[in-house]
A and B are shown apart, each in its own frame.
Chain A
């Protein structure tokens, strides 16, 4: 669940917007450069945004009565890198606040930082670290998505803790309290999201591997080897 409208004090709304804006600028710059060479990428990006929107309007079956949902930004971070993901996440957050009343406009800066910047950055770092190693592709996708989801909520807790520090122990103990609230639903949720997106990835490898090759997401040999493995298992 994103931070809703009116929950953060005005000053923190400004701070998070100021942090988010340069990242969005960098993302827009990269986006323009990509579009100058490959115009089809715009449709592709739009589709990724819509996909993240749809994913986050899905309620996961394992958690009942919670507003938790997958963030889906892990897949986008792998495909387009963290900065463009920030732009896509910002567009998705705008739609979520206006279509579903998730999140808000003044708190959007804070939500962009948590869902669009920190989560994808961590996910992307994990992906880059594991991409050219022997580590299984599905494990890589699982780790990227689970950590992108988890770090999103860690950042949200930090944002809340900074805005509302505890009287005793300050920001640190306030952070622990907010993390405690989120941990109950978020740790199982991050694992489920990782599993689901890894399964989605398996489906893509089986049905439409050319997408992965075209975007240079994983080395071609690795994809072919995995496909062969899946065919043998079946």
Chain B
């Protein structure tokens, strides 16, 4: 029980530390965040494409049987 509580507290602190992050650099690459987000998006949509393809393959196989 105690360990669970400690984990919860740690998690709350972790989230709070994220929320209060302030940029300390005079310069960060401003476009990089949106580009990275697009790459993450592309990764998941690409994965979705592959899953769809696999499902379609099985679906056809099943239909043929």
Does A associate with B in a complex? no
Residues of chain A touching chain B, judged by Cβ–Cβ distance below 8 Å, are none
Residues of chain B touching chain A, judged by Cβ–Cβ distance below 8 Å, are none
